Structure 1
Amino acid sequence: MTQMTSTTQSPYTDEQISVWLRGLLTIAWSDGHFDLEEQNLISALTQQTLSATDKSTALEPVSSEELAIALGRDPRTAENFLRTAVMVAVADGAYSFCEDELLQNYCHALGLRLEILEVLRSTLCDPAAEQQTAEATPSTSELNLPQPHPDVLHPVKDWLDQMEIHDPKLARFLCKLIPSQCPFERDINLFGRKVAHIPPLCKLNPLYEQLVSLRFRALSYLADECGEDVSSYS
């Protein structure tokens, strides 16, 4: 079925959405954990979402200054960008030091003071420590996000749930980026021996419900507000 072209008026300009999506990619690749397959996927999503004039710079990192100039000084726009940026940062179940530093720089450039980012620091993972643990116990190591007390992340969850969807391009990008169901757990084998076990993302990530909820709101926006056929995102 041919997808309908949305006529819904976005509160954001094409330049803002272009820089917005590039900012999300900058966050996604900041920890260096995106393999070639994932990079190709994100590249394809961006190429499908952006206009022809924006595709030449689609994968270029966005500096804090460029982001602030493009998004302006509207605090609602700035907070909604940062909500999506946090979602991308924690999508793999781990919040890293490089992601935290980049988010802090973006937050400062946008003129916001968010205690939420301080709360997220309680989940910071240390790649060096993880590597030492994996080397010490290669047969039993598991990829686990440090689990803070459940109440600690409640402010983060509430803040993320306030994310508003008002742009078709951003909504489509989120629907394609966030999986429609919890990815299967899997074992990592080397020379016939299990060296690691990766739990399902829904068990690994304490903010997985917020990701699913955001995807649902994006789907609802496309279907109800834009009148688009969303069956292809199932």
Structure 2
Amino acid sequence: MADIPAVATMSYSDRQITAWLRGLLTIAWADGDFDPEEQQLISQLTKDALVPHEEIGELTVISPEELTIELGDEQVTRENFLRTAVMMAIADGVYSVVEADEIKAFGKALGVNMSALHSLEQTLYDPETCTKEEPQEEVHIDALKPVRNWLDEMDVDDPRVARFICKMIPPQCPFERNIKLFGKKIVHIPPMCKLNPLYEQLVGLRFRSLSYLADDCGEDISDFI
């Protein structure tokens, strides 16, 4: 009988994970539209994944300076937080100006080189100049290579973060439908794989998270498949 791998030791403390979640919620709340339905959605995503002992209503926004202190000095931790922030922001294929501004503020405070995200800003959605039903400007895939590579470099080394990623990213490209996610009211969108130029990066991160949970932590991943 093959040996069952031991459960990996969590890389991040509860304090770091709580700050991590507060940072993601700060970005989700950036557009000022966060109703009870969306709060319930994020609660479902974070339950038993990041800080299950925290209630969503007890969490508050976090400043870039406080996030820097709470996450600590490890550069890999800081970059991985920003990678999950970008992944969350683009999960529905719409990268908004307010999300980009929050992420850049976090990146500057954390001392992370954000040059890889410059090409992603070509896809920004500005509610003052367009509507969400309008198609986003097409960006050639080669122009997004720096951010694709940066996102692919994320190593999954904490089971709570891995579970969160598996819940946040769907197991397959959703069919054309109406969705509502993280404060963005999407009236009608095509399949995410066609809308999101970084969908392969989302899927790749989800696969690495599943593999980490199954192979390194010995967890049952059937609920995520």
| Equivalent runs, 1:1-234 vs 2, <5 Å | 7-32=7-32, 36-51=36-51, 53-55=53-55, 59-131=59-131, 142-186=133-177, 197-234=188-225
Distance 1:21 1:224, change over 3 A: same
1:94, 1:125 within 8 Å by CA — same for their partners in 2?
yes
C-alpha distance in 1, partners of 2:176/2:59? Answer: 30
**Residues 172-208 of structure 1 deviation map (CA, whole Å, 9 limit, x = unaligned):** 11111111111110379xxxxxxx6421111111011
Instruction: After superposing the two structures, state which structure 1 stretch, 147-156 or 25-34, moved more.
Output: 25-34
Q: Identify the structure with bigger relative contact order (alpha carbons < 8 Å, sequence gap 6+).
A: 2
Distance 1:12 1:57, change over 3 A: farther
Deviation at 1:145, TM superposition (A): 2.6
Deviation at 1:56, TM superposition (A): 6.6
C-alpha distance in 2, partners of 1:37/1:187? Answer: 15
C-alpha distance in 2, partners of 1:161/1:180? Answer: 18
C-alpha distance in 2, partners of 1:33/1:201? Answer: 22
**Amino acid across the alignment from 1:232:** D
2:117, 2:146 within 8 Å by CA — same for their partners in 1?
no
1:47, 1:58 within 8 Å by CA — same for their partners in 2?
no
**Amino acid across the alignment from 2:29:** W
C-alpha distance in 2, partners of 1:30/1:12? Answer: 25
1:185, 1:198 within 8 Å by CA — same for their partners in 2?
yes
C-alpha distance in 2, partners of 1:153/1:206? Answer: 8
C-alpha distance in 2, partners of 1:233/1:45? Answer: 12
The root-mean-square deviation of aligned C-alpha atoms, in Å, is: 2.4
Instruction: After superposing the two structures, state which structure 1 stretch, 36-45 or 63-72, moved more.
Output: 36-45
C-alpha distance in 2, partners of 1:222/1:58? Answer: 28
Deviation at 1:225, TM superposition (A): 0.4
**Amino acid across the alignment from 2:94:** A
**Amino acid across the alignment from 1:164:** D
TM-score (norm 1): 0.82
Unaligned runs of 5+ in 1: 1-5, 135-141, 189-195
Identical pairs, percent: 55
Deviation at 1:124, TM superposition (A): 1.1
Distance 1:59 1:46, change over 3 A: farther
**Residues 74-117 of structure 1 deviation map (CA, whole Å, 9 limit, x = unaligned):** 21111111111111111111111101110111001111222012
Unaligned runs of 5+ in 2: 1-5, 180-186
